[in-house]
Every structure is written in structure tokens, then in C-alpha cells.
Structure 1
């Protein structure tokens, strides 16, 4: 059967799912790639590039569009706005596509979606952008790196302008993603060979013998090696939780907010079949994700349950050799993978998140046995959620000491922006 899918219509529909209906970008895009997995690799790559690129640079793109229209950007019809945003992205950042083709396809889209009367408007805006793109300049860091102004101002209290520029550039750059595998199950050389047979480029990561960078992937779900659970997609920064935890043979580990299961799987594999990882999360949906990933990874020294970490579980008080509190956070360290976060997050929301984190930490500390470890982590770059929470915790828990902490800066350190703090609970005198 001939392929009749119009890639730009798919892109427009995906953008509207995210911007108009509020669907998370990574979920919306994954659903689209699942639906159109029969498309050629080049076509799927084009869809992914335009959707992700437009979302990553939306503040910049809206600024550029506003230079060429006589009304406020938010007064545009959602369909027209999405057509212009994706069109401007292609003109500015996809050299392989002629500007004239971008304009023509955008006009066709407007017509197909019932906006025949706005074809001239769409055409005029895009052709003006194409003609004057070399003259466009940006007024500040927020526009240049497509970051909300309030986030830039918040970072300016803690980081230099150069550090903010490095982070901003990192979030916008194309980059490979990392995977982790269990050397007890498959050797690195074997996995590299399997991936090569599946036409996937891989690259070793210095200092990480159980991890690889992957490139040239358009649809992960079709890879047999992934379906068989021979590797797990996990960012380098997230792997540090297991490396810091260093579980010993027979340890009882508790992962309080475990979905989708990456840290639990890592702990389980480090235990080499011994001990137990008690993994839980707040909803059946999240726990099902954990179970699915455990099944693929052939893990059996894990028990999973639905449990709200804000509640106290008296059955595990003083029982955990290692307690992992990788808590809900603002996600400002993963804007390269989830760019829509920056458009939904608010300053008020940050305050609520800090309160939630402290509420969970109050319970987490009770689960640590004397001499045991508590590892607090977030995937954000925000001192209120990170260093200030660590200071608060130490001030209110004299029986814990801070072993080490690290704020990983995206673009400076490998991987996502990520924060880790490792605490140890004092042993009782009789111990």
C-alpha cells in the first residue's frame, strides 16, 4: 500500500496535541512514532526533528514571528501559530530544506485546515523571515536560548552569565542519548555488535564501563536488543545514583519514587541477585511502567507496590540499608528531552515542589537504618530544590551527616542537569 502520510500534517497535529491539548511532548511524540512506525527512517527523523526543535526554540520562534506581524503572537489561531512556528524553525535551522518549499508547504497546510483566507498572511510572514533571517538579533539570553525570563533571573542569582549560556546552548544542541546495560548479562563488545547489526551507531563513554552513547536512532521500540531488555535508556547523570549508593551483597534498598524503574534496575543489578529492592510509586500507571521494565530486564530481586511517599509506611522504619529519594522536581535539568516543561512551570509551582520534597524527605529519613545511606536526587538545576533542601534536612536531622553532594551542570558535566546528596545515618552506641 502506498504511503499517503503527509509529514507536515503529522507535525502540525503533534504540535497541537502538545500546545493546545496539553499533552507532554515526549508522550505525544512517542505515540506518533508508534503510530507511523512503518514510515521510512528519514521521514520519522524529520518529524522528530521539527517537533522537538520547534518546542525547544518556541520562545525564540515566537519572538521572530512577532517581528513580522502587527498583532500579538497569542492572538493568532492555534493552527496558524503552529504552522508559522514550525515553518520558521525549518527556515532558521534546517538548511537542507529550501525556504521556498517551507513556504509552499505551510500555505498548503493553512488551506487544508480551513484557513484559505490566511494563505497570503502565512506566505508573507515566512517569506519575510526567509529574506531577513541574517538580520535578526536577540535582545537577551531568555530569547536567544528560548528560556522564560523568570527562570533566567532565578539562575542569575546562583550562576554566572557564562554558565547560563552553557546550559542554554546544551538544551538546544543535538546530542546522543545514553543507555546502560548489565555486564553480567551481556558484554559491551557483544552489545556493540548487535547494535551495529541493527544499524545503530554506538560510542563508549569514558568512565562508564556499563554504558554507551547511541546515535542514529529514529524508533527505539523496533530494536530487538531493546525489546529483549539487553539495555535500558538512562541518562549518565541518573546512573550516578546507583554508583553513589554502592549496594552491598544482601542489602535492603528502598526506592521511594521509582517509576519508570531505571534506578531500581541498576540497584538490583549491582546486588547481583542478592538482597531486595523495594520499589514503589504513587499510581498504578507508574507502577505498571516499573513492572514492564523489570520484566524486560529479567529482574527478580525487586518487589513493587503502589504507595504514596507522602504517607509514612511504619513497616519499613529503620529497615533500609539504602533509601533512594529521587523526588518529583521542576525538571529544569532535562529541558533538552522535555522542552515543554519550561512553558508550564511557574514560580508558585516551584514553591509547592519544595514543600512536597520536604514532606517526602521527612518520611524517607525514618526508613534509613542506623549506619544506612539516604540519597536525595532531582533532575533539576535550582538551589531551592537542591542545596537549600540539603541544608534544611541537615538542620532538622542531627543524626544524619552529609557525605557528599554534587550539582551537575548541563554542558559542563556529562549528561542532564542533576543534583545528588548522600547522607549517612549515625549508628547507635550499642551498634
Structure 2
């Protein structure tokens, strides 16, 4: 690498912002990579891998450090704690970096941050870890299944306990493994603008490795690119970054020519853009969200993709808008959620979410549904979705809604690939799980408004 110390200092800054200042990793890392576009690809890859890898394995890193430190991790100076975490991650998971280099650079980084009196402590802990890493004992999966899963996959125990109420141990471990596997960038091809062949050719001409997704023929997986916004296919509006689970929302919504659609919690806007594309210039999609910044992000995408049948507006989904009553042929309610289905892409979510926060989120979800259901015409469609795993925000919310409002579930089998069809999809809903399905964790249901 051209500047080893500098890249490690950047990683430390990312970790400090995420873990000490409570910022979101995907936002911090995106801003950092945009700021350092001029760095070589391998340096940017190093920053991404060490920052994301440390966050993905945070509980395990703290578990290992605690075996060799006389000071509890929670009582360390934040900078020292994060230097040790990122260094232990390199020792355990990055064979390409020599142990001696990891230890030396960790000590130098502590000095650069002004902790000269702690360089001996950092050096001692890291060299002890390097010598004894293979001797660290993990909880036994049979005797201590929850601590085993928690340490091995860096998953808070309260989340695991909730998942274990729904699924057996093997399924939960498969989910955890799925969260930790390398995640690719999935994009949706805008076939109204260019053919799939031309899009793939353009991407490959710029050195991108492209594979087709098994669920939807217009979905592609991208590898080996440096900066997405530099790709011609992106700048031309031919592709939109979107997980295939999110693409399924527009498939299940199944808009007809001329439909009027409202997306009440739309940012960053992928589902709304997809609906507008499916309408092929007809009808209209109103994408709403609560902040100016989110609406501007959606408007930028509308302009990039040159859509004429969509706009983005600021609106609070908890506030009833009389002008929208019974106007929507299709209403998307992709409500705020705990985000536990996208931990693989946003690893710090698991540490920021709590049981109390999740309870508050369920209340907010119900408040939104209680407000927006009236926007749907009789005979119209409401698609409820979240990017999370767990009955509280998904199946329980769905039952509550059906018990209290004039809607019924409709089978979503006609809109899904065969490999996703099953008992629940015939009933009208689907829970996607990392490791089980080729997607993020995601829940969606299709409901039709009936006469009261």
C-alpha cells in the first residue's frame, strides 16, 4: 500500500465516528471513499475491508482482546479500544498482512493519536494476541448455544434469543453465516433505457465483473469495480443499486398501466423508481419522505434516470393528508424498521438497536399504517414491507392490521420466481432470510382493500 499509516488512520477515524459518535457505518464509509477517490483501488479496498470487517466482528474482537488485556475493553480509551479492535481483526482475518506489521502499525497509530504512555500496553496486548490467537477458546455450541452464536458471529444475544423463538438453532446459524458472507452490489437494469446486453457490455468494458441474479432477469450482481458513480451505466441512468428483495416489492405490487401510486416512506427511492419504470411512462408515482435531504436524494435519482411520471415530496407518514384519501391504486408502506435484515450491509445496526428501540419502532409502524391505509382505493393494493427479521415487526404487525382494517391478503405466487413460492406466499406474504435466500433479510405482504 502506498501509505499504510494513513489508511489505518482513516480506518480508525471511521470506527471512532461509528462507535463513539453513533453515526451509521454505511454513510461514514461512503463519505470517506468519496473523499479519498484518488487513492489506489487496493488502498480503498483495505480501508473498506478493515473498517467493515472490524464492525462485523466487533463482539468477537472484544472477546479475544479480553483474553489478553488486564483492562476491560469497556474501560479503555475509545481510540485505544478501536486500535486494538482493528488490529486484532487484521491478525485473525487478513493473512496478507504480517503479524509484526499489524503490531508495529498499531503502536505507531497510538503514538500518532497522542497516547505515548499507552504504546507499551498496545504492543503487549497485540503481541500476546498474535502469539496465542489459535489458543482462544470459544463457547461450546451445545452447552452454550446463544453465547457461541453471539461470539462466533458477533450478534447481540437479545437478537439471537428472538430469532431462536422463530427458528431452530441450525437455521439461526445459517442466517448468521449468511450475514457474514461477502456481499455483492446488486443493481436493477432499467430496460426502458437500454437492453440488458448493452448494460452488461458497458459494465464489462469498464472492468466490472457481472453475473446474473437467479431470481429476476433484470437484476445483476457487480464485482471488482472501484467507484460506482464513475460507471457509464450508472451515470446514464441504466442501473439502480437495489437489493433483489427490494425489487420484489414492485413485482408484488404489479402496477397496471395508468395506476396512481404512493410510496409513503420512500427514501432512498429504489422501490418508487422501480414502480415508475414498470408503468412505462404512464400513471404517476409520488415518493414521500420526512426530510428535505432524503427527498433531494430521490429527486437526484429521478433526474438521473429521466423519469417523467414520478416526483418526490416532503411528507410525514404519520400525518394524514385528506387530499390523498382513496387516491392510490397502489400504496407502498416500506416502514421504518430495526433493519436487522440488512446487517450484512450495515454491520453496526446490530449494536445500535435495542429491545426498547424495537418496541418503539413497532409503535411507529402501527401509527403509520393507521394513518395511510385510507389512501388506498377500495379494490386497491397495499404492499407492506420491512428490511428486518422477526415476528414483532412483520407477522404480528400483519395480523394486527388485518384484525383492525378493511384489507385481506392476496397470494403473491403469481409475482414471484418459483423457488420463492411456498405456503406463506400462497397466503400473501414472504420472509426472506440471509443465508437461506439469495438476498437480504426482508419481509413483504400484499393486501387488497375491501369494502368496510
Q: TM-score, normalised by structure 2?
A: 0.92
Moved over 4 A (4+): 2-5
Contact 1:378–1:418 (CA under 8 A) maintained in structure 2: yes
Identify which of 316, 327, 330 aligns with 2:335.
Answer: 327
Alpha-carbon deviations, 1:360-384, whole Å to 9, x = none? 1112211111111100000000100
CA distance in 1 between partners of 2:38 and 2:3 (Å): 9
Structure 1 contact 401–426 (Cα < 8 Å) conserved: no
In the alignment, what sits opposite 1:45? 45
Q: Counterpart in 1 of 2:80?
A: 80
Match of 1:193 among 185, 196, 201: 201
Task: Show structure 1 runs of 5+ residues with no match.
Answer: none
2:128 maps to 1:128: yes
Matching of residue 379 in structure 1 with residue 403 in structure 2: no
Match runs of 1:110-129 below 5 Å: 110-129=110-129
Is contact 2:341-2:441 (8 Å) kept?
A: yes
Deviations 1:175-222 (Å, cap 9, x if unpaired)?
212100111211111111111121111101123111100011332222
- Name the SS of the counterpart of 1:209 in structure 2: coil
Structure 2 unmatched ranges of 5 or more:
140-147, 412-427
C-alpha displacement of 1:399: 4.4
> Would you say the 8 A contact 1:60–1:146 is kept in 2?
yes
Q: Please say which of residues 225-234 and 393-402 is displaced more in the overlay.
A: 393-402
Confirm or deny that 1:352 pairs with 2:366: no
C-alpha separation between the residues in 2 aligned to 1:9 and 1:224?
32
Say whether residues 1:406 and 2:430 are aligned partners: yes
Distance in 1 of aligned mates of 2:138 and 2:230: 41
| Cα offset, 1:137, TM superposition | 2.8
Match of residue 267 from structure 1: 275
Deviations 1:333-383 (A, max 9, x none): 000111111111111111111111011111221111111110000000010
CA contact (8 A) 1:57 1:146 kept: yes
Report the RMSD for the aligned CA atoms in angstroms.
1.4
Judge conservation of contact 1:181–1:230 (CA < 8 Å) in 2: yes
Cα distance change on mapping 1:5 and 1:117 into 2, 3 Å: closer
What SS does the aligned partner of 1:325 have? strand
Residue 243 of structure 2 is matched in structure 1 by 235
Secondary structure of 1:217 counterpart: coil
Q: Residue 312 of structure 1 aligns with which residue?
A: 320
Instruction: Give the counterpart of 2:448 among 408, 424, 427.
Output: 424
Contact 1:401 1:425 in 2 (8 A): no
Displacement of 1:400 after TM fit?
3.2
Pick aligned residue for 1:223 from 231, 237, 252: 231
User: Take 1:76 and 1:298, find their aligned partners in 2: how far apart are those partners?
Assistant: 51
8 Å CA contact retained: 2:302, 2:311: no
Partner residue, 2:19: 19
1:9 & 1:71 partners in 2: Cα distance? Answer: 23
- CA shift in 2, pair 1:400/1:207, >3 Å: closer
How far apart in 2 are the matches of 1:191 and 1:170?
29
Quick one: distance in 1 between partners of 2:272 and 2:3? 42
The offset of 1:299, in angstroms, is: 0.9
2:439 alignment counterpart:
415
For residues 409-429 of structure 1, the C-alpha deviation after alignment (integer angstroms, 9 at most, x for no partner) is 11101210000011011258x
Deviates more, 1:183-192 or 1:375-384: 183-192
Kept in 2, the 8 Å contact 1:394–1:402? The answer is no
Q: Residue 256 of structure 1: which of 259, 264, 268 is its match?
A: 264
Distance 1:316 1:398 in 2: 17
Report how far residue 5 of structure 1 moved: 7.2
> Within 2, Cα distance between the matches of 1:396 and 1:427?
13
Pairwise CA distance, 1:114: 1.0
C-alpha distance in 2 between matches for 1:402 and 1:181:
28
2:218 counterpart SS class? strand
1:63: Cα distance to partner? 0.6
Give the structure-1-normalised TM-score. Answer: 0.96
After TM superposition, the structure 1 stretch with the greater mean CA deviation from structure 2, 18-27 or 270-279, is 18-27
Is the alpha carbon distance of 1:4 and 1:71 closer, same or farther for their aligned partners in structure 2, counting shifts above 3 Å? closer
